[in-house]
Amino acid sequence: MNADTITRIDDITVMPGCRDRFVDLLRSQYLPGAEVRGLELVDLALAPPVDVPDAETGVVLTWHLDGIDGFWKTRRATIEDPNVAAFWDATAGFIARRTRRFAQPSLTTGPVDDDPGAPVTTDGVHHIVLLNLAADTEPVFQPPSPVRGSRGGRHLPGSIGGPDASWEFDADEPLALAAGAVSGADIADVVVLGDIVGGGVRAPDLRDGVKRTLLLRVDDRASEDAIGAFERDLLAMAHHIPAIRNWRLARVASSRGGWTHAWEQEYAELSGLRDDYMRSPYHWGVVDGWFDAEDPRCIVALHLLHLFYNAESSVIAPNATDQPRR
């Protein structure tokens, strides 16, 4: 095992009388495809070592993944393999509880930034308008009333799940944009932010950076305790990933896509998102479980929008001299 190897530990408690059936399904339905998905089984331990009537059984699976790239390869493969979800559905009645953890063989910690940033403030109601652009046409914005902090751009390669561009602005109240509000583009969604859960501004004068928006939907069945823990974990990313210069987490007041949260960040360079953010151990080792349908903590729906574009100036910390735009 080298220093880049990631260890995944699945700790599963099986209910009394279900041990043999669970292990049989594990061997026949899960293990055959695990290696194809990038998982190397290191150990399968049962506690107690013999089946005891009326006693729970602990099943501990230890896996190795080939570094960070191997981690994300496995995540993608898991999404694409229907046998994974079928296995957990088939064994749900056997399992009392389970946890999943990740580890790496290193005593060193990653970089952190203790600067909490200045509080995020809003100049009214923030709108994120998602656009499908007409071919070879630059959109012209024609909002129905004065808006402030108007920013936007074409989504860069690597954006996932969404339309071609974002247009963002603040207004005094939620605006219902008609089709004519943008010429040269069709409006795919108007995402209106509601309560701000948290955020921070480290770089209010950020210029020529990258604005990233993650739009997601939390399962209706998630408890408020789970939602609160999820939101705290997201906000803590700024501490563990110094490349995040400005950030905001808000609940969505309205949208056509049914989104519940908008998680926004700004970076000085694209590498801050593609490298620092995506490869952070806090990301893959702590936060990602909320998004991974195979993880028992998961509360986020599979479909989401990961959108980013080049921004001339900050959207999260708009300049105080911004004038209303008509």
DSSP 204-250: TT-EEEEEEEEEE-B-TT--HHHHHHHHHHHHTHHHH-TT--EEEEE
Residue 325 lies in a domain: no
What phi-psi label fits residue 301: left (phi over 0), alpha (psi between -120 and 50 degrees) or beta?
A: beta
Which comes out higher in pLDDT, residue 70 or 319?
A: 70
Mean pLDDT over 43-55 rounds to: 96
Q: Please identify, among 103, 134, 160, the residue that sits at the C-terminal boundary of a domain.
A: 103
DSSP letters for 113-132: -----BPP--SSEEEEEEEE
Give the chain's end-to-end CA distance (angstroms, integer). Answer: 60
Tell whether 81 and 142 lie within a shared domain.
Answer: no
> Is residue 142 very low, low, confident or very high in pLDDT (cuts 50, 70, 90)?
confident
Q: Evaluate whether residue 207 is within a structural domain.
A: yes
The confidence score (pLDDT) of residue 183 equals 80
Residues 85 and 165 in one domain: no
Considering the domain boundaries, does residue 42 fall inside one?
A: yes
142 in the same domain as 79: no
Place of tokens 């990653």: 110
Number of domains observed in the structure of the chain:
2
Q: What is the mean pLDDT of residues 26-33?
A: 96
Answer whether residue 320 shows pLDDT above 70. no
18 pLDDT above the threshold of 90: yes
Give me the pLDDT at residue 162, please.
80
Same domain, 291 and 153: yes
Q: Is the residue at 113 inside a domain? A: no
For residue 32, count CB atoms less than 10 angstroms from its CB and return exposed for 0-12, middle for 13-18, buried for 19 or more: exposed
Domain boundary among 44, 71, 103: 103
Which two three-digit tokens encode residue 32?
């055959």
Is the model's pLDDT at 84 over the cut of 90?
yes
Q: For residue 325, what pLDDT band results from cuts at 50, 70 and 90?
A: very low
> Residue 32: CB partners within 8 Å, gap ≥ 6?
none
Q: Are residues 161 and 74 in the same domain?
A: no
Residues 96 and 143 both lie in one domain: no
Residue ranges with strand state E in 21-173:
40-47, 57-65, 95-103, 125-133, 140-141, 148-154, 165-171
Domain carrying residue 45: 6-103
Q: For 138-159, what is the mean pLDDT? A: 85
- Band (pLDDT 50/70/90 cuts) for residue 326 is very low
Does residue 219 surpass a pLDDT of 70?
Answer: yes
Residue 266 lies in a domain: yes
Dist. CA 249–CA 300, nearest whole Å: 15
Regarding whether 140 and 10 lie in a shared domain, the answer is no
155 and 288 share one domain? yes
Residues 163 and 79 in one domain: no
Whether pTM > 0.85 for this model: the answer is yes
Residue 48's pLDDT is 97
Whether residues 95 and 223 fall in one domain: no
Residue 319: the pLDDT is 61
Q: What is the mean pLDDT of residues 100-128?
A: 87
What CATH number does residue 249 fall under? 3.30.70.100
Asked whether residue 25 falls in the same domain as residue 144, the answer is no
- Mean residue pLDDT across the chain: 93
Query: Is residue 164 in some structural domain?
Result: yes
Shared domain check, 180 and 88: no
Confidence of residue 144 (pLDDT cuts 50, 70, 90): confident
Has residue 324 got a pLDDT over 60? no
Domain annotation covers residue 117: no
Residue 12 located in a structural domain: yes
Per-residue pLDDT, 322: 52
Distance CA 75, CA 84 (A): 11
What does each C-alpha distance from 107 to 110, 177, 279 come to in angstroms? Answer: 10, 53, 18
